[in-house]
Amino acid sequence: MDILHYSDAHEEFRKRLNVFVANEVTPNVDQWEKDGIEPKSIWRKMGQNGFLCTDVPQEYNGMGGDFLYSVIVTEELSHTFHTGMAAALHSDIVVPYISAFASEVLKKKYLPGCVSGDIITAIAMTEPGAGSDLASIATTAQEEGDEVIINGSKTFISNGINGELFIIAAKDPAVENPYQAISLYLIEDGTPGFERGRHLEKMGWWSQDTAELFFSKCKIPTANRLGEKGMGFLMLMQKLQQERLMCALGALVAAERMVEWITDYCKQTKVFGKPLSKSQVTQFALVEMATDIKLGRAFTEKLVAEHMEEKDIIVETSMAKYWTTEMANRIADRSIDLCGDFGTLEKCPMARAWRDIRVTRIFAGTNEVMRGIAAKFMGL
């Protein structure tokens, strides 16, 4: 019995997206990887065709779809064998903060542009001295009447170059308890006092723009705060369930594409006169990888269903995030082994897949942090 149930509308959406990806994304991937960034035009096209922010209500020009549309977007983009088109980051991680916590004025101002792709979003939490430990952030926000003054820096910010609207986590230096000091603010590109730093060169995710951000006496309206002052940490914790679920799903579908590719490769590649897939060692490796995929798919889809039922599954999503990303990394390593020398060449798709999958064990909270969360709730 299927865990997830897709309607005719879901399937029609998938077909449209599949055609779009084949025509507009896949043919351009190699060039984008060389450029180190994707053009804003692909975001505009995604939005114009209804593939961004599918859960945003119709009153803000969205389609008001359920979470399965987000699943479909992640699955279909995985066929491109690259990670630059980080639609899930924009649609399912950043924009939900605006939908859930922004004032009505801010929703009307920004959500339609997020849906259309005219506004590309990013969230800035990580700092040079603070990664998974949000309580250690040093960026400050001092509210003075109708204005907020932001000072500090952020790093490893995805969509940092293309981004046009940023959610910034900053703390009130006057509040002693770090968990009660953090607030979230919206800052537009071009705001005085806000500057981008380096466009970071990474081992993977080459076409996904990642940058440093700097704030020096950056003034924004107090009205740009999301929710109540000092509630930033709780907001981040509330949304981390979906973020980590999306990470698990992303790793799962990446692993699925890797297994599909390496299985086909082993069937077509001959060693000593017979296909590599006829070797028992190869067969066992492929079966083990395929089994991991089946297990990961069942676990992840169960969590998707429970997330759609609004269940509290933060522990389970933490487990899924670490397990699926570790599994995908194992599959990447094993696939490179099966490719032999060919796996070390850039023209081999597994070389890019291997580079790209490594960071999944780090972002959205390291896998060590994920295990720590599970251990805490197990009473260990």
Evaluate whether 219 touches 193 at the Cβ level (below 8 Å): yes
Q: Report the SS3 class of residue 14.
A: helix
Q: What is the pLDDT of residues 21-38, one digit of tens each?
A: 999 999 999 999 999 999
Q: What is the pLDDT of residues 70-86, one digit of tens each?
A: 999 999 999 998 998 88
Q: What is the pLDDT of residues 296-311, one digit of tens each?
A: 999 999 999 999 999 9
Q: Taking the model in full, what pTM does it have?
A: 0.94
Q: What is the pLDDT of residues 221-241, one digit of tens each?
A: 999 999 999 999 999 989 989
Q: What is the pLDDT of residues 136-193, one digit of tens each?
A: 899 999 988 899 999 999 999 999 999 999 999 999 999 989 899 999 999 999 999 9
Domains of the chain in start order, with CATH, are 8-119 (1.10.540.10), 122-230 (2.40.110.10), 234-377 (1.20.140.10)
Helix axis angle for 314-339 and 280-308, nearest 10°, is 160
Beta bridge partners of 169: 184
Residues of the chain with pLDDT > 70, as a percent, come to 99
- CA-based end-to-end distance of the chain: 35
**pLDDT at position 44 over 90:** yes
Q: Which whole-number Å values give the CA distances from 47 to 14, 32, 43, 119, 323, in the listed order? A: 15, 19, 6, 10, 32
Provide the annotated active-site residues.
243
CA 379 to chain centroid: 30
Residue 106: exposure state from Cβ atoms within 10 A (0-12, 13-18, ≥19): middle
